[in-house]
Amino acid sequence: MKLSQGVEWSVHCAVTLAQTSPGVSVSRRTLAERYDLPEAYLAKHLKAMVSAGLLHATTGPRGGFRLARASEEITMLDVVEAIDGSGPQFVCQEIRQRGTAALPPEQCRERCGVALALDSAAEAWRSSLRTVTIADIVARLPAGARAQLQA
């Protein structure tokens, strides 16, 4: 249950892109240098965000990445799922229906209590991430951080 390292990078990059003027793109090289990250590997995560529809990529000089929609419309959950995968964290194997103590199917109409609890916890986690947007992160940034980006 460890979160991929790239999630942190990706969120920070999204925060940076949220502070650029509309229509302006930032190259992955600039993003990598901004946070001292390996450019080639960061590229993989940026690509994932493009595939997820969070970012828009432009090639050629003056090209790069920009947000595909308003920063208020991009949640932490969007970024996490883009990088870490959107599949369920837990898949019930229905082991209660196997082995010597196998339950008959008619007793398994309702969902297994174990799966229920794990799914409920995962949903709580997702709900929490849904409440925070990239715009929220920008708003809570120290005053100096925003000033530096203008340069």
CB 55 within 8 A of CB 17: yes
DSSP states of 34-82: HHT--HHHHHHHHHHHHHTTSEEEE-STT-EEEESS-GGG-BHHHHHHH
Minimum distance, C-beta of residue 8 to DNA, in the bound complex (Å):
10
Interaction site with a second copy (CB under 8 A): 1-5, 7-9, 11-12, 15-16, 33-37, 76, 80, 84-85, 87, 89-90, 92-93, 95-96, 98-104, 107-108, 110, 113-115, 117-118, 120-122, 124-129, 132, 136-137, 140-142, 144-145, 148-149
Paired strand residues for 65: 26, 57
88 counts as binding DNA under rule CB under 7 A: no
Short-list 21, 40, 24, CA closest to 32: 40
Residues in 26-45 that interact with DNA by CB under 7 A? 27-30, 38, 40-41, 43-44
Per CB under 7 A, residues contacting DNA are 2, 4-6, 25, 27-30, 38, 40-41, 43-44, 46-47, 50, 57-65, 84-85
